[in-house]
Structure 1
Amino acid sequence: MTSTSPIRIERSYPAPAERVWELWTTAEGIQRWWAPDGFTVRVDELDLRPGGTLAYTMIATAPEQVEFMKSAGLPLETPSRKTFTEVTPVSRLCYTSLVDFVPGVEPYEALTEVELRPTAEGVEVTMTMEPLHDAVWTERLVQGRGNELDNLAKVLGES
């Protein structure tokens, strides 16, 4: 790994913490915003408890993402698995992600912690992530998560 310092992304949303929690912890909610632009997500399994699993498939759908995935030697559909380590309703969600999709890299787990703090205007969300195995993949992670959080804002705006 190039850095061991956690990466933090913060967003504020003009919505109740309960609504953000629902979008983050239900199959219907996750499928609406979880994927970065140009991808969709299909939730295959969701067992929301410590030790439980979120299994989903990320599918490249936009032509530029399809082309990128092909040129990088990556599949158009990528199954992913997360294991919940902490579930504190409406305030904290922690999970490890199995990173087993990088060609030539042994699978490993990376921790993500999500905190929701109600404010007078809505909710503040802080996502703290362990960096991935190198700077390129860590930057992809940061860009993807930032884009997903922007998509969450769009979904909340539709509500």
Structure 2
Amino acid sequence: MNEIIERTVPATPQRIWELWTTPEGISRWWAPDGFRTDVTALDLRPGGALEYTMTAVAPEQVAFMEQNGMPLSTASRKRFTEIEEPTRLAYASIIDFVPGHDEYEQLTEVELHPADDGGTRVVMRVEPLHDEVWTQRLLAGRANELDNLAALVAAE
């Protein structure tokens, strides 16, 4: 069963769409706190790919990664499955970083609904990962992404 994360952000659906579907936009909010995202490829169409590198940049994240023998930068890939500008976006994330597990895909669906206050209600449906621990990590990361998105548009 998919998990649902919702936020209302103070920007129009079109503005949220731009931040979610352009390299410039993604690089401004996609990474969790203490990390930077650099988009290396973006082909916004069903079947197209989003590829990016996430790098630890804050001292505490760098220290955590080094202490746990993890690389400071990791490449990630997603494959777009649905694109309906500016209301719906879905993508399959390539899960290839779990020790002891073969690569698999995880689906995320995003809906952007105009809110009564002029903002946008973002509804994210997140397919669970292979177990509860990894699913909770994923949900925490996605919730942090939406918090970063809301903070970015509030500051604009």
Q: Smaller-chain TM-score range?
A: over 0.9
Shift of 1:158: 2.1
Shift of 1:85: 0.4
Structure 1 window deviating more from structure 2 (67-76 vs 136-145): it is 67-76
Amino acid at match of 1:78: T
| Aligned partner of 2:64 among 62, 68, 76 | 68
Unaligned runs of 5+ in 2: none
Q: Is the 8 A contact 1:53 1:81 kept in 2?
A: yes
Q: Is the 8 A contact 1:25 1:48 kept in 2?
A: yes
**RMSD of aligned residue pairs (Cα, Å):** 1.1
| SS at structure 1 position matched to 2:112 | strand
2:123 and 2:114 map into 1 onto residues whose CA distance is 12
| Count of paired positions | 155
Unaligned runs of 5+ in 1: none
Q: Judging changes above 3 Å, is the alpha-carbon distance between structure 1 residues 75 and 102 closer, same or farther for their aligned structure 2 residues?
A: farther
Matched, 1:148 2:148: no
Match of 2:93 in 1: 97
Q: Judging changes above 3 Å, is the alpha-carbon distance between structure 1 residues 10 and 91 closer, same or farther for their aligned structure 2 residues?
A: same
Shift of 1:65: 1.7
- Cα deviation code 1:28-86 (max 9, x no counterpart): 00000000101110000000000100000011112222233234433211100000000
- Cα deviation code 1:72-128 (max 9, x no counterpart): 433211100000000000100000000011222211100000000012211100011
2:132 and 2:23 map into 1 onto residues whose CA distance is 31
Match of 1:138 in 2: 135
| Aligned partner of 2:123 among 123, 126, 141 | 126
TM-score of the superposition, structure 1-length normalised? 0.93
Map 1:5-154; keep pairs closer than 5 Å. Answer: 5-121=1-117, 122-154=119-151
Query: Identity of counterpart residues, as a percentage?
Result: 60
Q: Is the 8 A contact 2:9 2:154 kept in 1?
A: no
TM-score of the superposition, structure 2-length normalised? 0.95
